[in-house]
Amino acid sequence: MEWETVIGLEVHAQLSTKTKIFSGASTQFGADPNTQACAIDLGLPGVLPVLNKEAVEMAIKFALGAHATVQHKSVFARKNYFYPDLPKGYQISQYDRPIVSHGYIDIQLEDGEAKRINLTRAHLEEDAGKSLHEDFHGLTGIDLNRAGTPLLEIVSEPEMRTAKEAVAYLKALRTLVRYLEICDGNMQEGSFRCDANVSVRPKGEEKLGTRTELKNINSFRFVERAINFEIERQINVIENGGTITQETRLYDPNKNETRPMRSKEEAHDYRYFPDPDLLPVVIAEELIEKVKRELPELPQEKRDRFMQQYGLSAYDADILVSSKELADYYEEAVKVSGNHPKLAANWVISELLGVLNKNNLEITESPIEAAELGHLVARIADETISGKIAKTIFECLWEKEGSVDDIIEKRGLKQVTDTAAIEKLIDEIIANNPAQTADYRAGKEKLFGFFVGQAMKASGGKMNPKQLNELLKKKLQG
Ligand code: ADP
Ligand code: MG
């Protein structure tokens, strides 16, 4: 039997507001426990929440960036449940009237295909506090600093078919919220969290299978692994005559498996109802227009511009716009290179990103500055150095040995382009290798490589390859 996988993602993006969604307490990360929770976040009697306008504007920004609809009227609702990190006994969220609906994210698949993933909705809500288990023997500590932090929950349609598509969607979504500057996208710190809903069905079947919801997947790698584990598990269960239970499952990265957390039977009845302390959110068209005017160039627009302006492939452009910082780096390098966009793209993508990844560094932490990489490209383009020598210089730049021109000068790496000097060297090589010369002239053309090698060795790789080839051919012909 052939199976088809169905995946829908729920993403919680922590909004980068200065203060909380319903109080004036700071949202700064890393403060001492319970120093950033005010009476409202603690849910003390008699307090009233006041909606943070910045959070609303960020939701509007998201809607505009994701081609979605801003609802002119949305409603906050109470989601009731008991947990120690939720002192009010309810979370303020949105239920049947979310602030954002529809929209889509376009993803780029590895085979070069593009696919559109539709969004169902995005709604505003407050985060809960944190339970701390580690430092408390037999007890649980509660830190309410995170309580009331604004979240945008972004819900996709069940339109992804592989774990790789899910990762591509998540990456595109994270790139978007970072461009919009509404979320820092940090998965480790939990400011960009994902729950994956996964089901399988026989290929060709229209009805969706029973889904499970996977939690605790806080890196792209874990998202892919958790989904793939879950697909296999579900198929196994069904093929062995069992049925899938709708439940929440926890991913364990150490064992690379998912296991049940709570089933539908134990699932909470949240008794949603409109929050009587908060008025409906009414958004005027003028506010939407204002936010629209302030929107930066977004990833897809930038990608299209890079393809047009710099003649890049969709694949290369997609990589370069994956973060705004990387795109800026590239454009700076192109400018300094004297307008050699394709060569600059090759050096950024194949060389720089390669070593950055190997060393686990972000583009903002690159030891080689954009202007310096641009200089390097300029020196290749004006034939001061060969591509091969450029790799040596690149390594020197990485080690902070100085500027490109300094390194060329100090290490004597300038390419030999003086025809007379090249000819002199060729004459010497021909004189020193009479047997090979005779064989070549007798028709053994494969020996050409031998002469190129000799010349490169004698010049320390600095010979201009094009000139060398031409002159060598002429001289060998005699
Ligand atoms: P809930 O609010 O209970 O989590 P939703 O209907 O809002 O349920 O769905 C949450 C997510 O689950 C959405 O991203 C949706 O696309 C996805 N989803 C719903 N049904 C399925 C299914 N059968 N298989 C995979 N994903 C699903
Ligand atoms: Mg859910």
The CATH number of the domain holding residue 452 is 1.10.10.410
Statement: residue 265 has pLDDT above 60: no
Q: Which ligand is nearest to the CA of 268?
A: 1
Ligand 1 atom nearest the C-alpha of 10 is: 14
Instruction: Kindly indicate the confidence band of residue 407, based on its pLDDT and cuts at 50, 70 and 90.
Output: confident
Ligand 1 atom nearest the C-alpha of 210 is: 23
Q: Are residues 19 and 90 in the same domain?
A: yes
CA angle 344, 404, 307 (to 5 degrees): 10
Q: Are residues 322 and 344 in the same domain?
A: yes
At 466 the pLDDT is 78
| The token pair that represents 73 in the structure block | 């009227």
CA–centroid distance, residue 145 to ligand 1 (Å): 30
At 50 the pLDDT is 97
Q: Are residues 46 and 192 in the same domain?
A: yes
Ligand 1 atom nearest the C-alpha of 197 is: 26
Q: What is the mean pLDDT of residues 7-26?
A: 97
From start to end of 269-324, where are the E strands? 273-274, 281-282
The whole-chain average pLDDT of the chain stands at 91
CA–centroid distance, residue 113 to ligand 1 (Å): 25
Q: Are residues 11 and 119 in the same domain?
A: yes
Residues 6+ apart with CB under 8 A from 131: 84, 85, 140, 141, 142
Instruction: Give yes or no for residue 156 CB within 6 A of ligand 1.
Output: yes
Instruction: Give yes or no for residue 208 CB within 6 A of ligand 1.
Output: yes
Could you tell me the residue range of the domain that residue 390 belongs to?
297-411
Q: Are residues 178 and 231 in the same domain?
A: yes
Ligand 1 atom nearest the C-alpha of 155 is: 14
At 403 the pLDDT is 85
Q: Are residues 228 and 373 in the same domain?
A: no
CA–centroid distance, residue 8 to ligand 1 (Å): 6
Instruction: Assess contact for 32 and 147: CB atoms under 8 A.
Output: no
Q: What is the mean pLDDT of residues 468-473?
A: 84
Ligand 1 mutation pick, 5, 12, 155, max ligand atoms within 8 A of CB: 155
CA–centroid distance, residue 175 to ligand 1 (Å): 23
Q: In Å, how far are 155, 159, 164, 166, 300 from 197, measured between CA atoms?
A: 11, 11, 14, 10, 27
Instruction: Give yes or no for residue 6 CB within 6 A of ligand 1.
Output: yes
CA–centroid distance, residue 150 to ligand 2 (Å): 18
Statement: residue 382 has pLDDT above 90: no
Q: At which of 252, 273, 289 does a domain end?
A: 289
3-state percent breakdown (helix, strand, coil) of the chain, nearest 5 = 40, 20, 40
At 264 the pLDDT is 55
Q: Are residues 149 and 15 in the same domain?
A: yes
Q: Are residues 94 and 177 in the same domain?
A: yes
| pLDDT 10s digits, 206-258 | 999 999 999 989 899 999 999 999 999 999 999 999 999 998 999 988 888 89
Instruction: Kindly indicate the confidence band of residue 166, based on its pLDDT and cuts at 50, 70 and 90.
Output: very high
Q: What is the mean pLDDT of residues 266-293?
A: 91
Instruction: Give yes or no for residue 197 CB within 6 A of ligand 1.
Output: yes
Q: At which of 289, 322, 350 does a domain end?
A: 289
DSSP three-state, residue 44: coil
Ligand 1 atom nearest the C-alpha of 198 is: 25
d(CA 240, CA 235): 8
Residue with tokens 């309410």: 144
Q: Which ligand is nearest to the CA of 154?
A: 1
Phi, psi of 6 (to 5 degrees): -125, 130
CA–centroid distance, residue 208 to ligand 1 (Å): 10
Got the DSSP string for 352-407?
A: IHHHHHHTT--GGG-SS-HHHHHHHHHHHHTTSS-HHHHHHHHHHHHTT---HHHH
Q: Which of 292-301, 384-393, 461-470 has the lowest mean pLDDT?
A: 461-470
**Beta-carbon count within 10 A of 72 CB:** 13
Q: Are residues 266 and 307 in the same domain?
A: no
Instruction: Kindly indicate the confidence band of residue 418, based on its pLDDT and cuts at 50, 70 and 90.
Output: confident
CA–centroid distance, residue 220 to ligand 1 (Å): 20
Q: At which of 232, 258, 289 does a domain end?
A: 289
- Which residue's CA lies nearest to atom 5 of ligand 1? 155
Instruction: Assess contact for 23 and 148: CB atoms under 8 A.
Output: yes
Of residues 235 and 267, more confidence is placed in 235
Q: Are residues 43 and 99 in the same domain?
A: yes
Instruction: Assess contact for 301 and 307: CB atoms under 8 A.
Output: no
Of residues 265 and 300, more confidence is placed in 300
Q: Are residues 38 and 162 in the same domain?
A: yes
Q: Which ligand is nearest to the CA of 207?
A: 1
Instruction: Give yes or no for residue 155 CB within 6 A of ligand 1.
Output: yes
Q: Are residues 30 and 162 in the same domain?
A: yes
Domain count, the chain: 3
Instruction: Give yes or no for residue 9 CB within 6 A of ligand 1.
Output: yes
Residues 6+ apart with CB under 8 A from 142: 34, 84, 85, 129, 130, 131, 132
d(CA 372, CA 222): 36
| pLDDT 10s digits, 80-132 | 998 899 999 999 999 999 999 999 999 988 777 889 999 999 999 999 999 88
At 262 the pLDDT is 66
Q: What is the mean pLDDT of residues 2-6?
A: 95
